[in-house]
Amino acid sequence: MTDSPKMTARHVNVHYGPKQAIADVSIDIEQDRVVAFIGPSGCGKSTFLRTLNRMNDTVPSARVEGDIRLDGQDIYAPEMDVVQLRARVGMVFQKPNPFPKSIYENVAYGPRIHGLAASKADLDAVVERSLTRAGLWNEVKDRLSDSGTALSGGQQQRLCIARAIAVDPEVILMDEPCSALDPIATAKIEELIHELRGRYAIAIVTHNMQQAARVSQRTAFFHLGTLVEYGATSDIFTNPRQERTKDYITGRYG
């Protein structure tokens, strides 16, 4: 590991109104690696993930403190353009949420907004490339004008991944992307994450520990809004340093 981390978070606190959801979390998200956030539900994994592309801005009661940087640049600085930030840090949600538009329009949405394609041919190329990277091209290439919502759940989720990578992000955040999918669709997404790893920094929230072990190189264990342990996935799963991590991994609670 020669280069510096893609994103750094230092002493991050998040409050929803008077309630603290994240307390003093510091973490690095590295280029070309997958970091998994695990922990019992309600411990703040989603909340923390959403601080990384400022999606918490859309929650009126949320207040974020601390220092979060992308390539050394403070993403909460006043001069930071949220539109640009979110183009660079893409997000995939728990429930597949394709827009009620055609498959093509779903993928073309981001490039259009950000003016990334100079011509129709350009846009076609971006759509094809994104769908190919998301492993969906062969399944939908003949019906790009069908509605995105008519696809199966797993295909919808890959469409959402295609939509996210169409704007050429540097980081992709995934919030339990497989929790609404069946095992086969889940396996496909996991495979996809492996393929995407070389190109993007990826952070994935999961409640499935086997999944964390399979797809990630780094794992962060959250509990009650704090980061309990962060390290190489193999260490966390075979040799946790903290008692609480060990309890969680061995299924003592969760």
Partner 1 sequence: MSALALALIVAGLALIGWLVARARAAAFRNGSQRFSSLPGHHGWYVALWVIVPPLAFLAIWSAVSPALVTEAVVAQPAAAALPPPGFDRASILSEARALAEGRAYGAFNDLSARLAPFYAVAQARYDWIATAAALLLAFAGGGFAFTHVRPDFRARTRVERIVMGLLLAASLIAILTTIGIVASLLYEAARFFRMVPIGDFLFGTHWSPQVLDARDPGANLGAVPLFWGTFFIGAVIAMAVAIPFGLMSAVYLTQYAAPSVRRWMKPILEVLAGVPTVVYGYFAALTVAPAVRDVAVSLGVTWASSESALAAGLVMGVMIIPFVSSMADDSLNAVPSAMRDGSLAMGATSSETIRKVMIPAALPGVVGGVLLAISRAIGETMIVVMAASGVATLTANPFASATTVTRQIVDLLTGEAEFDSPKTLAAFALGLTLFIVTLLLNIVALTVVKRYREAYE
Q: What, of partner 1, ligand ADP, Mg ion, none, does residue 109 touch, CB below 5 to 8 Å by kind?
A: partner 1
Residues 6+ apart with CB under 8 A from 93: 160, 175, 177
- Identify any residues that bridge with 219 across adjacent strands, giving them in sequence order: 36, 231
Distance in Å, CB of 239 to partner 1, minimum: 36
54-93: contacts with ligand ADP (CB under 6 A): 59, 61
Choose from Mg ion, partner 1, ligand ADP, none: what does 5 bind? Cβ within 5-8 Å by kind: none
Q: Which does 110 bind (CB under 5 to 8 A by kind): partner 1, Mg ion, ligand ADP, none?
A: partner 1
Residue 47's binding partner, choosing from ligand ADP, Mg ion, partner 1, none, with beta-carbon cut-off 5 to 8 A by kind?
ligand ADP
Binding residue (CB under 8 A) for partner 1 from 39, 110, 154, 225: 110
**Do strands 62-70 and 7-16 pair parallel, antiparallel, or not at all (unpaired)?**
antiparallel
Of the residues 87, 134, 220, 236, which one makes contact with partner 1 according to CB under 8 A: 87
Examine residue 177 and tell whether it contacts ligand ADP (CB under 6 A).
no
Query: 219 touches which of Mg ion, partner 1, ligand ADP, none (CB within 5 to 8 A by kind)?
Result: none
Among partner 1, ligand ADP, Mg ion, none, what binds residue 208 when CB lies within 5 to 8 Å by partner kind?
A: none
Considering only residues 3 through 32, tell me which ones interact with ligand ADP, judged by CB under 6 A: 16, 21
> How many CA atoms lie within 13 Å of 52's alpha carbon, on the beta-carbon side?
33
Is 109 a binder of partner 1 (CB under 8 A)?
Answer: yes
- Shortest distance (Å) from residue 102 CB to Mg ion: 30
Distance CA 194, CA 156 (A): 19
DSSP state of 102: B
Find the shortest distance in angstroms from Cβ 101 to partner 1.
7
Q: What crossing angle do the helices spanning 120-133 and 103-114 adopt, rounded to 10°?
A: 120
Asked whether 40 and 24 are in contact (CB, 8 A), the reply is no
Distance CA 218, CA 241 (A): 15
H/E run at residue 165: helix 153-165
**For residue 83, what are the CA distances in angstroms to 15, 22, 88, 167, 224?**
23, 24, 9, 12, 31
Residue 91, interface with partner 1 (CB under 8 A)? yes
Distance CA 23, CA 66 (A): 10
How many Å apart are CA 17 and CA 87, to the nearest integer? 28
For residue 87, the minimal CB distance to partner 1 (Å) is 4
For position 115 contacting partner 1 by CB under 8 A, the verdict is: no
Residues in contact with partner 1 by CB under 8 A are 53, 55, 58, 60, 82-87, 90-91, 93, 95, 97-101, 109-110, 113-114, 149, 160, 163-164, 167
Residues in contact with Mg ion by CB under 5 A are 46
